[in-house]
Amino acid sequence: MSIRSRTIGGDPVYPVGLGCMNVTHAYGPPIDEADAVRLFQRALDIGCNFFDTATIYGAGRSEQLVGQAIAGRRDDVFLASKCVLAVKDGKRVLDARPEAIKSACDASLKRLNVDVIDLYYMHRPDPNVPIEDSVGALSELVEAGKIRMIGLSEMGEGLLRRAHAVHPIAALQSEYSLWVRNPEIAVMEACKELGTALVAFSPVGRGFLADPPADPATFHESDMRGTIFPRFSPENYPANLVLLDEARACAEEVGCSVAQLALAWTLAKGDHVVPIPGTTSVKHLEENHAAGAVSLSPEIVARLDAHFTPESAVGPRYNRYGQASVDTEQYDFETSGT
């Protein structure tokens, strides 16, 4: 079966990319760095050509490891990274001032050991800096040949349109999965209209949409899922587990794993959607990659849509702190507290 590539800013990419956060932080301690480099190199070997990293991932260490992995193979990868969010003196900082963005880009180029970054995102909106100023700085980086395309992350339709008015936005990154349907409120259609790729992060529900699913009882104390994401809390998680019965039934009918089903569902939502699951496991990397060949019938998509409604998930996507840092749209029931 031939697999049709997707495009970001006109560049072809394999339908399933690779999120490069997990190897350095977020869901537990960093993995062995040699293993991380081997994971990234294996991704290249099997044809995964879209790597998505960020300044904040491991305080820059993810970028360094990606740089090591792609050394001598720069033409094999569409390389994305992010600015605005960073770690300074052990603390998380948010800075979208033009001078900060330009400084961050120079640092990312050095860590990645490349001359140009294909796609450079604003990782979060900065309420203290007009987005027009930030995108203006990014457009100057395009003119300087340091980045090729501009992206946004965790922003809604309003900021997307304001940014796009300054410079074309090649990609908008947003959490999107069977478990998180919020992009369907507005940004999916806005992206389609503007020719912007919707890069779906956490498309496997941060491990929930797997079989077996992520188990909060086994989370390391540094795992953010135990603090920032209420759906994994002891109060909410058991009620969410019942959602997986239908996913397992559909996966069995299709002849794929639950994770592959989840990825194939995002791909079925539009040719401009590109999921970027992250993993620390070569086995899971290969499983995720193979989802690019999984095709879902309209009937299966409709069944999943009807089962995983936005209201079906128990608990908010983020805790109050996490939600305050993003500009993504919410459903009325989320903002009303019901």
Q: What pLDDT, on the 0 to 100 scale, is given for residue 87?
A: 84
- Determine how β-strand 11-13 pairs with β-strand 6-8: antiparallel
What residues make up the domain containing 62? 10-326
315, part of any domain = yes
Q: What pLDDT, on the 0 to 100 scale, is given for residue 148?
A: 98
- Residue 35 pLDDT greater than 60, yes or no: yes
108, part of any domain = yes
- Residue 1 pLDDT greater than 60, yes or no: no
**Total number of domains in the chain:** 1
338, part of any domain = no
Omega of the bond leading into 15 within 30 degrees of 0 (cis): no
pTM to 2 decimal places: 0.96
Model confidence over 238-267: pLDDT tens digits? 999 999 999 999 999 999 999 999 999 999
Q: Residue 142 and residue 8: Cα distance in Å, rounded?
A: 15
Is residue 120 flagged as an active site residue?
no
233, part of any domain = yes
pLDDT over 70, % of the chain: 99
94, part of any domain = yes
Q: Which residue out of 14, 27, 57, 237 is catalytically annotated? A: 57
Which CATH number characterizes residue 193's domain?
3.20.20.100
Query: What's the gap between Cα 310 and its chain centre?
Result: 19
- Residue 338 pLDDT greater than 50, yes or no: no
Model confidence over 216-240: pLDDT tens digits? 999 999 999 999 999 999 999 999 9
Q: Which alpha helices (DSSP H) does the chain contain, by range?
A: 33-46, 61-70, 98-112, 131-143, 157-166, 187-194, 237-241, 244-254, 258-268, 282-290, 298-307, 320-324, 332-336
153, part of any domain = yes
